[in-house]
Amino acid sequence: MKLHILSRTIIIITVYRSPTGNIAYFLSNLEAALNQVYNNTVDIILHGDYHINYFNDNQNKQALNTLLTSYSLYSIIDFPTRIHNNLCTMIDNIVINKLKNQSYSYIP
């Protein structure tokens, strides 16, 4: 979705990766989408269910973060997004360019 608000252009991208989905395929398609919309004049909000638990350090999280940081995108979520049977995960996330948007807020 592309929004034009005053002098800003905001692009909102929603993604979903199946828990059994191929991570390389997901990252490749995400990179293709970001390549199509990225430039220095737009603000990108990427959100969705990546099925990559940000509470754990692992190769999938590192690969996703490497891709996102190449577009100056960083996670802003720091709380559990799913709690089930006393198990907390953070597999849903929102990423933005925190350097361009320093005065953001979110409510869990």
- Homologous superfamily (CATH) of 2-96 is Endonuclease/exonuclease/phosphatase (3.60.10.10)
Quick one: pLDDT at residue 107?
76
Q: Which helix (H) or strand (E) holds 28?
A: helix 23-37
Q: What is the pLDDT of residues 48-97, one digit of tens each?
A: 999 999 899 999 999 999 999 999 999 998 888 888 898 888 888 999 99
Closest CA to 80 of 55, 62, 98: 55
Q: What is the pLDDT of residues 97-108, one digit of tens each?
A: 987 777 777 777
Given this model, what pLDDT does residue 101 score?
A: 74
Per DSSP, the residues of 29-51 read HHHHHHHHH--TTEEEEEEEE--
Supply the pTM of this predicted model: 0.86
The two three-digit tokens of residue 80, written as one number: 């559990």
Output the CA angle 72-74-76, nearest 5 degrees.
150
Q: Any bridge partners for residue 45, and if so which?
A: 12
